[in-house]
Amino acid sequence: MSKKVALVTGANKGIGFETAKQLAKEGITVIATSRDEKKGIEAVTALQNEGLGVVFLHLDVNSHESVESAYDFIADKYGKLDILVNNAGIQIESEDWAINTAPSITDDDLHQTFETNFFSIVKLTNKFLPLIQKSVAGRIVNLSSILGSLTLHSTEGSPIYGSKLFGYNSSKTALNAYTIHLAASLAGTNVKVNSAHPGWVKTELGTEAAPMSVEDGAKTSVALALLPADGPTGKFLHLGQELPW
């Protein structure tokens, strides 16, 4: 089957919705997933009404059964997966992005954040890897954040120095480690794995104060999903620029 197939997690809104839309505009069959069936179907219907080839699939990344059934659906229907965009993510520890939560974060918030932003991504990606390896050009995009950069967090005066939401930031640092390790394990194969920083984007998570539109915020994910054979792997990128780990 030559038509590319992409799966985007958390595609019912924000950057994930826009990523699904932009990939579908490239002629890719996009499986737009959502943990909330109603919101997901509404989002997919809106894209289908624009004439785009988008399919809805229920997927709660934290649910083992949900991941298994999404895998079975894609394995049966398509027999491969060309693009996996690990977009779903949460920030639950504070509405104030300017505070340092290291001494105060609750055990529950830390665990929940790592569950969605790190453990679930590792589990889901490793589950789907055999299907991605069946692609002639497999691409895995991990939605990280510049806030996961240890280099910038430890550099006084860096643009993110004052934004120390410990749970969110460290979950993205851990995700970056997964990007590096997985990319190394796949070196020399058709599969590329990269971490994306979308920018500070106007979404529910990014808030209204963010300067970037979702259209621009999806561009890094889309570019990494469509990387050519000589493109990078194991990198941390924002709009083509490499970021420090």
Ligand X SMILES: NC(=O)c1ccc[n+]([C@@H]2O[C@H](COP(=O)([O-])OP(=O)(O)OC[C@H]3O[C@@H](n4cnc5c(N)ncnc54)[C@H](OP(=O)(O)O)[C@@H]3O)[C@@H](O)[C@H]2O)c1
Applying CB under 6 A, which residues contact ligand X?
Answer: 9-10, 12-16, 35-36, 39, 59-62, 87-90, 116, 143, 145, 197-198, 200-201, 203-206, 210
Tell me which amino acid residue 156 is: E
Question: Nearer Cβ to ligand X, position 4 or 35?
Answer: 35
Nearest distance from residue 132's CB to ligand X, in Å?
19
Q: Mind telling me the catalytic residues?
A: 168
Nearest distance from residue 146's CB to ligand X, in Å?
7
Nearest distance from residue 148's CB to ligand X, in Å?
9
d(CA 57, CA 39): 11
Question: Nearer Cβ to ligand X, position 76 or 204?
Answer: 204
Hey, what are 212's tokens?
């970037």
The secondary element (H helix, E strand) that includes residue 24 is helix 14-25
Contact (CB, 8 A) for 189 and 207:
no
In order, the DSSP letters of 198-235 are --SBSSTTT-TT-SB-HHHHTHHHHHHHT--TTS--S-
Gyration radius (Cα) of the chain, Å: 17
Nearest distance from residue 2's CB to ligand X, in Å?
29
d(CA 111, CA 131): 29
Nearest distance from residue 187's CB to ligand X, in Å?
25
Question: Nearer Cβ to ligand X, position 28 or 243?
Answer: 243
Question: Nearer Cβ to ligand X, position 87 or 135?
Answer: 87
Closest CA to 206 of 143, 122, 114, 124: 143
Question: Nearer Cβ to ligand X, position 39 or 134?
Answer: 39
Burial code (b: 16+ CB inside 10 Å, e: under 16) for 107-122 equals eebbebbbbbbbbbbb
What are the C-alpha distances in Å from 181 to residues 19, 36, 198? 25, 31, 21
